[in-house]
């Protein structure tokens, strides 16, 4: 239960913290964009089973691979993709913490 709370606390709390600290005037808009980064979890649908609490997502699912993470870093440079890239990387950080707890 604690692992579940940490996992989802980070997934929702880390983007909220980033939005509140760095985008004070537009925090809600930025938070919604950051929550949209959950789209990368669609790659879990390619796995069997779809959910496995003992599996680390990092470098297992295609959108959680090291290659994808490198692309997320590249997306930090263009201003138009920066917030979404930050959100994708925050998602990866959250999943990485989850991997440490396995």
Residue boundaries of the structural domains of the chain: 2-100
Residue with the two structure tokens 């909220």 = 16
**HSE, side-chain direction, 13 A CA sphere, residue 70:** 5
pTM of the model: 0.93
Query: Pseudo-torsion of CA 44, 63, 81, 15, nearest 10°?
Result: 50
Residues 1-34 have pLDDT tens digits of 788 889 899 999 999 999 999 999 999 999 999 9
Q: What is the DSSP string of 47-90?
A: SSSS--TTS--TTTSGGGSHHHHHHHHHTTSSTTTHHHHHHHHH
Structure-token pair, residue 88? 């994708």
């Amino acid at each position: 239960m604690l692992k579940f709370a940490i996992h989802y606390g980070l997934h929702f709390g880390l983007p909220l913290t980033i939005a509140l600290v760095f985008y004070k005037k537009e925090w809600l808009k930025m938070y919604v964009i950051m929550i949209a980064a959950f789209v990368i979890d669609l790659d879990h649908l390619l796995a069997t089973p779809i959910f496995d609490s003992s599996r680390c997502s990092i470098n297992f699912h295609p959108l959680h691979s090291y290659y994808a993470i490198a692309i997320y870093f590249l997306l930090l440079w263009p201003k138009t993709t920066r917030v979404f890239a930050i959100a994708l990387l925050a998602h990866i950080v959250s999943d990485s913490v989850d991997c440490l707890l396995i």
